[in-house]
Amino acid sequence: MKKIVCMVIAVALIFTLAAFPVSCSRLDTVENLEGDYTGLEGTTLYVMNWGEYISDGSEGSLDVVKAFEKVSGIRVIYDDSTPSNEAMYAKLKSGAVAVDVVIPSDYMIQRMINEDMLQTVDTSKIPNYKYILDDYKNLYFDPQNQYSVPYTIGMVGIIYNTTLVEGTPDSWDILWNEAYRNNILSFNNPRDGFATAQFLLGQDINNTDKALWDAAADKLKEQTPILQGRVMDEVFNKMEGGNAAVAPYYAGDFFLMKDVNEDLDFFYPKEGTNIFVDSMCIPKSASNYEGALMFINFMLEVEVALANAEYISYASPHTGVRNHEDYSLKDSQILYPDEAHKPRTQYYHDLDPEIRAYYEKLWEEIIR
């Protein structure tokens, strides 16, 4: 009897599977391509990017990597397992991998240029480079636009739960407010962590004065007793679930949290905040330079850039996206604040090794 029941169930299962033919035919074609994607069929391209940092076909979005493979015939090895700029740097420095495209942040690009780890990017072979806004050209880390092609722009702000926070906060000092004891989250990495105190103290976040770093460290130690925790990605769960009242994080990510929890709101602190640009670069170790240029050009196709901007919800440096009628975030005051609401911003610069070692040591003391 038991056997018969099992058989019936198994057969039933097979039929249900057959009744629903694999219906996830993913969106992997781009209609209006401007570039030429022929000539490199059969080659391989190694792309290193951050997690959740490209439109990947989930929830009806465009599968960018697959679309590129389809149109170019290039096989893409896509690696998004690297957690941070520092870890990416270590991987490239070790020479264990030959990466063709990486997307580091500004200060890391500066460091990699200084250490001769990047190739020049021949923008004459990237016709879609014309879409890049002038505001994001000639930035401090790459003054001649030789090494990098901007991909996304982000700013740090403070996310807060309106049911737990009184009034409309506007300053970093909310992270030191005793009233929210045990309800405050902060960054669990030295650079972003220090910046919260540095802005509050009115410091330059790239200063090289050890006494100023000491002062910022003292400020952070003062905060420790009222902190609920120092987190990175966990912030999504915690803010979405109403587990904490305030947390500083990256503006684009706020939209993802807001989708889950309507009570969340966001502001840029009046003392100023960090702005960063993540750009596409080609490391010296690249083995498919032409393929890398092709991929970067593809990423700048209007439709592709739009899909990415929607998916990642960070600000886009792409004129074709900013003006696109289908772009749902184009009027967002958070991503694209008008002159009146623009926060004062500073970029992180790559600091010299001595200062870096100094603040890292201070950070160790703070978190232990």
Partner 1 sequence: MKKSTNVFLNAPYVVWAGIFVVVPLFIVLVYAFTDANGNFSFDSIIALKDYWNNFLLSLLYSLVATVVTLIIAYPFAYALSKTPAKTQKIQMMLVMLPMWMNLLIRTYSWMNILDQNGIINQILLSMKLKPVTFLGTPGAVIFGMVYNYLPYMILPIYTVMAKMDNSLVEAARDLGCNGFNVWRKLILPLSMPGVISGITMVFVPSVSTFYISQKLGNGKIMLIGDTIERQMQALNNYNLGAALSLVLMILILVSMFIMNRFADSTGEGGVVV
- How near is the Cβ of 248 to partner 1 at its closest, in Å? 14
Work out which of 58, 146, 182, 323 binds partner 1, going by CB under 8 A: 182
- How near is the Cβ of 205 to partner 1 at its closest, in Å? 18
- How near is the Cβ of 212 to partner 1 at its closest, in Å? 21
- With CA atoms as reference, report the closest residue to 239 among 162, 143, 352, 155: 162
- How near is the Cβ of 235 to partner 1 at its closest, in Å? 11
Establish if 367 lies at the interface with partner 1 (CB under 8 A). Answer: yes
Q: Which is nearer to partner 1, 228 or 297 (CB)?
A: 228
- How near is the Cβ of 229 to partner 1 at its closest, in Å? 3
**Which residues are 102's β-sheet partners?**
48, 281
- Per-residue HEC secondary structure of 62-90 comes to EEHHHHHHHHHCCEEEEECCCCCHHHHHH
Listed ranges 70-78, 151-159, 187-195, 211-219: which one lies at the site for partner 1 (CB under 8 A): 187-195
List, in sequence order, every beta strand (DSSP E) within the chain: 44-48, 75-79, 101-102, 118-119, 149-161, 184-187, 227-231, 246-250, 264-267, 273-280, 282-283, 345-346
Work out which of 97, 242, 287, 342 binds partner 1, going by CB under 8 A: 242
| Binding residues for partner 1 restricted to 88-127, rule: CB under 8 A | 89-90
Establish if 87 lies at the interface with partner 1 (CB under 8 A). Answer: yes
Work out which of 108, 244, 296, 329 binds partner 1, going by CB under 8 A: 244
- How near is the Cβ of 245 to partner 1 at its closest, in Å? 9
CB neighbour list of residue 82: distance below 8 Å, 6 or more residues apart: 48, 50, 88, 91
Establish if 177 lies at the interface with partner 1 (CB under 8 A). Answer: no
CA distance 195 to 147: 27
- How near is the Cβ of 91 to partner 1 at its closest, in Å? 10
Listed ranges 21-29, 55-63, 150-158, 240-248: which one lies at the site for partner 1 (CB under 8 A): 240-248
CA distance 266 to 268: 7
CA distance 19 to 15: 6
Give residue 349's identity as a one-letter amino acid code. H
CA distance 98 to 45: 9
Work out which of 43, 119, 243, 319 binds partner 1, going by CB under 8 A: 243
Query: Half-sphere exposure of residue 189, counting CA atoms within 13 Å on the CB side?
Result: 11
Listed ranges 44-52, 83-91, 282-290, 306-314: which one lies at the site for partner 1 (CB under 8 A): 83-91
Helix ranges, 115-264 (H): 190-200, 210-223, 234-240, 251-260
Work out which of 227, 307, 334, 362 binds partner 1, going by CB under 8 A: 227
- How near is the Cβ of 125 to partner 1 at its closest, in Å? 33
Q: What angle do CA 277, 278, 283 make, to 5 degrees?
A: 135
Listed ranges 14-22, 40-48, 100-108, 236-244: which one lies at the site for partner 1 (CB under 8 A): 236-244
Establish if 146 lies at the interface with partner 1 (CB under 8 A). Answer: no
Cα–Cα distances in angstroms (integers) from residue 128 to residues 125, 132, 187, 301, in the given order: 9, 8, 36, 7
Establish if 3 lies at the interface with partner 1 (CB under 8 A). Answer: no
How many residues bind to partner 1 according to rule CB under 8 A?
Answer: 28
Establish if 183 lies at the interface with partner 1 (CB under 8 A). Answer: yes
CB neighbour list of residue 321: distance below 8 Å, 6 or more residues apart: 302, 305, 306, 309, 327, 330
Listed ranges 41-49, 79-87, 98-106, 168-176: which one lies at the site for partner 1 (CB under 8 A): 79-87
Binding site for partner 1 (CB under 8 A): 83-84, 86-87, 89-90, 182-183, 188-190, 224, 227-231, 234, 237-238, 241-244, 360, 364, 367-368
